[in-house]
Amino acid sequence: MRRHYLMCRPTHFAVDYAINPWMDPAEPVDVVRAIDQWTRLVETYRDLGHDVDFIEPLPGLPDMVFTANGATVIDGTVLGVSFKHAERAAEAPAYLDWFTRAGFPTQAAKATNEGEGDLLLAGDVILAGTGFRTDHAARAEAQELFGRPVITLQLVDPRFYHLDTALCVLYPTPGSGRPEIAYLPEAFSPGSRRVLERLYPTAIKATERDAAVLGLNAVSDGERVVLPVQASDLARRLASEGYEPVGVDMSELRLAGGGPKCCTLEVRR
């Protein structure tokens, strides 16, 4: 249950450009409030018994707080990222450098992939979102490096541009007797919905209301699920399925299209 997360203080947080529909550069953001909400998230993880490491925030990279997009780390091996948008490109080498210094074997990305935003480990398989950011070609790289089958899921709603805004892995292995994932069906193409139905017949289907507050952008340790406090339907549903919902307010970071999961990169040794 104990997890290891990498996070980045939103010291330079801003909405200076718009690369997803949540971002409106004309709307003011409160950096102090963002830092405060992020600090609570760190404290929440520590209270749950998790380890948190930090990467130095770099000036001019306002989205660097979203560490989920910095890498994919499975079995101690790191796949680097390559961002779709030039605005975030400089984050990729910074993350790779952090992992190299920390002693991890790393492989730079060839195809565009935005880390755990789109590549979610679910037990033996990797669920890979595509459609807005991560390229199809990234699947092969991830499958080859991690030795796990990669299942492609086609995202169709621009508000849910990363897989981790539309789907949350709750429990890594089947057979727990609980739903293994929660997702918003409407965020996926018809074929991908059928794939999800087939693989996870007992999944929690989130409501539009939950997804609209980025409720699916949640972090589960298999028992406790840290999610936006505004996602009340999902919290109730999780509790009824035997999970413990832990609400956090990330409303300021949501102005950039991010929630708790976006701010959290899982480091799997």
Does 220 engage in binding with ligand ARG (CB under 6 A)? no
| 262 catalytic per annotation | yes
Nearer to ligand ARG, 19 or 122 (CB): 19
- The C-alpha atoms of residue 72 and residue 266 are separated, in whole angstroms, by 8
- The C-alpha atoms of residue 112 and residue 114 are separated, in whole angstroms, by 7
Choose the binding region for ligand ARG from 89-97, 103-111, 224-232, 254-262 (rule: CB under 6 A). Answer: 254-262
Which member of 8, 162, 168, 263 is catalytic?
Answer: 162
Does 19 engage in binding with ligand ARG (CB under 6 A)? yes
Q: Which of 7, 20, 135, 210 binds ligand ARG (CB under 6 A)?
A: 20
Q: Which of 68, 74, 121, 219 binds ligand ARG (CB under 6 A)?
A: 68
Rounded-to-5 percentages of helix, strand, coil across the chain? 30, 20, 50
Tokens standing for residue 10:
């939103």
Phi and psi (nearest 5°) for 180? Answer: -85, -25
Does 260 engage in binding with ligand ARG (CB under 6 A)? no
Which member of 8, 168, 262, 263 is catalytic?
Answer: 262
Nearer to ligand ARG, 26 or 103 (CB): 26
With contacts defined by CB under 6 A, how many residues of the chain interact with ligand ARG? 16
Q: In this structure, are residues 146 and 79 in contact, taking their beta carbons and an 8 Å threshold?
A: yes
Q: Of 244, 252, 253, which Cα lies nearest the Cα of 67?
A: 253
Does 162 engage in binding with ligand ARG (CB under 6 A)? yes
Least Å distance, CB 162 to ligand ARG, is 4
Nearer to ligand ARG, 33 or 178 (CB): 33
Phi and psi (nearest 5°) for 64? Answer: -65, -20
Nearer to ligand ARG, 99 or 160 (CB): 160
- The C-alpha atoms of residue 67 and residue 7 are separated, in whole angstroms, by 6
Q: In this structure, are residues 225 and 247 in contact, taking their beta carbons and an 8 Å threshold?
A: no
Q: Which of 37, 44, 69, 113 binds ligand ARG (CB under 6 A)?
A: 69
Does 29 engage in binding with ligand ARG (CB under 6 A)? no
Query: Is residue 227 within a helix (H) or strand (E), and if so which, with residue range?
Result: strand 224-228
| 4 catalytic per annotation | no
Q: In this structure, are residues 64 and 8 in contact, taking their beta carbons and an 8 Å threshold?
A: yes
Neighbours of 72 (CB within 10 A): 31
Instruction: Give catalytic residues, as residue numbers.
Output: 162, 262
Residues contributing to the site for ligand ARG (CB under 6 A): 19-20, 23, 63, 66, 68-69, 88, 117, 162, 164-165, 256-258, 262
